[in-house]
Amino acid sequence: MRADPRVPSLRTRLLVAMVGPLLLAAVVIGLAGATLIADVVRRASDRVLGGALGAIAETVQVERGEVTLDLPAAAFGMLENGERDNVYYRIAVGDALLTGYADLPAPNPAALAVDVPRYRFARYRGQDIRIAEVRRSLPRIDAPVVVQIAETLDNRGALNRRLMLALLVGECVLVGAAALLLRPALGWSLRPLARLRDAVETRDERARPDFSPLDAGPLPAELRPLASAFDRLLAQLDTMTGGVRRFTADASHQMRTPLSVLKVQVALARRGSHAERGDALAEIAEAVTRLERLVTQLLALARAEEAGMSAPLEAVDLREVAAAVITRQVHQAVDAGVDLTLDCDAASGMVVSGHRTLIFEILSNLIDNGIRYNHRGGTVAVAIRATPVETTVSVADDGRGIAPEHRETVFDRFARLDPAATPNGSGLGLAIVRSAAARLNATVTFGDSAVGTTIILRFPRADDGDVASGNA
């Protein structure tokens, strides 16, 4: 099988199906991670900032009606970091600055709850800063006391970047590893398939086609339906080739006897006297007729088994076909001294869906049998009948009949009940009938008759629409 560029390889499929979503997941995880990291960094830094705020706020006191404070060095030590962030502070009582940077953005004291620190971002001296602020309520001081401490964001940014980088590296390693592992993983997963392939390929090397089920050892669940479908296909092939093999073996077997007769009689004719030559020629003519009939019948059988495979069903007038067969075979009947009759319920309208060639072949064989296995003065009666459920054609003779125990075997190829009595029978007639009938969805049965043989061809009644569309 050649590679089709429009059909991607399994590896490409898996790559697309797996690495694509994996990348998407990485982006989603990255985004969520960024938010989470930013949040964690903010909370951690705010905690430190809040700690420093608390330490300063604690030192704000009232001494003799004055607000005082003692800026603790440790509070600023807490805020020292590798990024050398700037730290600003402002303590105000009402609008009056107590100490610190006067221009640090001041809050509206009314919006601040007492002793609950609040955090916000702001812009100060061309830099982004984070401000922690708290309002204190001091005894005998009416104006709100606001303590603020702020830091620039360099350290927060650096922390954020480091964590994001770690996340990104982790994600890249994951996706890369998945893409790299795809090939060996695929190879390992497909190994049972290779075993299945080997099981098929070793068959080719054997001389005779082997259609027994594959032996690929235990297979994973996904491959079992494939293997069993393959086994079913093999079984079908086995049945078919077996049929062909039996057929050719039977056919060649059947030709050997008349060929032997021909060879011997030709030898006798070469050596013999004039009178002996005449006898030999008569025997040769008979053997040739027999071979000719055998070949014709074999071809008919091959046709019957092939026809109807593709051609759509057509409307066939049984009366017309029967009349055509009788017209062709009337000479044979006259020579054999057998009376050939046709009886039909209606003048016309005995239409079934089928193939004219096959129906012709069936009737031709049934009538031929009726004449062949009959006696001088006998009759072969063809009758066409229609009932609500089926249309039937029966061919009845008053010949020697077929014993009930032989009624199944006569349909087999080359089954001849009494070869000596009718030397020109090929043993194929009824095999052709059965095969052709099967193609037509018709059935062939034996009818009850006191003398001779009655064979009935039954067509199930088809709707007119089915005939027209060929689906019957």
Partner 1 sequence: MRILMIEDDAALARSIAALLRAGGNAVDHVATGAEALAVVAGEPYALVILDVGLPDIDGFTVLERLRRRGDKVPVLMLTARDALDDRVRGLDLGADDYLRKPFEPEELEARVRALGRRRGGDPLPTLSVGALTINRSSGGADVAGRRLDLRRRERAVLEALATRAGRVVPRELLIGEVFGFDEPVGDNAIEVHVTRLRGKLAPDGPMIRTVRGVGYMLDAG
Question: What residue ranges bind partner 1 (CB under 8 A)?
Answer: 249, 252-254, 256-265, 267-268, 271-272, 276, 279-280, 283, 286-287, 290, 418-420, 423
Helices (H), 272-355: 274-306, 318-336
Give the CA dihedral 206, 211, 216, 219, nearest 10 degrees.
160
CB of 331 to partner 1, least distance (A): 24
CA distance linking residue 356 with residue 255, whole number of Å: 29
Closest CB to partner 1 among residues 232, 253: 253
CB of 400 to partner 1, least distance (A): 16
| Measured distance between the N- and C-terminal CA atoms of the chain, rounded to whole angstroms | 38
Give counts: helices (H), strands (E), the chain.
10, 14
The least distance separating partner 1 from the CB of residue 333, rounded to whole angstroms, comes to 24
Our CB check for partner 1 shows the closer of 203 and 293 to be 293
CA separation for the pair 380, 370 (Å, rounded): 6
Q: How far apart (Å, rounded) are the C-alpha atoms in residues 124 and 128?
A: 6
Task: Name the phi and psi angles at 214, rounded to 5.
Answer: -65, 145
122 or 415: CB nearest partner 1: 415
Torsion angle of the four alpha carbons 31, 36, 42, 43, in this order, in degrees rounded to the nearest 10 = 170
* 423/460 with CB nearer partner 1: 423
Q: Which tokens sit at 300? A: 């008919």
Residue 375, classed as helix, strand or coil, is coil
Cβ closer to partner 1: 269 or 438?
269
Q: Please name which of 133, 131, 106, 137 lies closest in space to residue 117, comparing C-alpha atoms.
A: 133
Minimum distance from CB of 252 to partner 1 (Å)?
8
Closest approach of Cβ 324 to partner 1, in Å?
A: 32
CB of 205 to partner 1, least distance (A): 23
Interatomic CA distance for residues 277 and 271, integer angstroms: 8
Which residues of 34-83 form beta strands (DSSP E)?
61-63, 66-68
In the complex, least distance from residue 411 CB atom to partner 1, rounded to whole angstroms: 18
Residue among 231 and 283 whose Cβ is closer to partner 1: 283
CB of 258 or CB of 452, closer to partner 1: 258
Contact of 265 with 319, CB cutoff 8 Å: no
Residue 195 or 416: the one with the smaller Cβ distance to partner 1 is 416
> In angstroms, what is the minimal distance from the CB of 289 to partner 1?
10
Q: How far is the CB of 189 from partner 1 (least distance, A)?
A: 47
**CA 42, CA 40: separation in Å to the nearest integer?**
5
38 versus 269: smaller Cβ distance to partner 1: 269
Alpha carbon 298 to chain centroid distance? 39
Measured between alpha carbons, how far is 354 from 460 in angstroms, rounded to an integer? 11
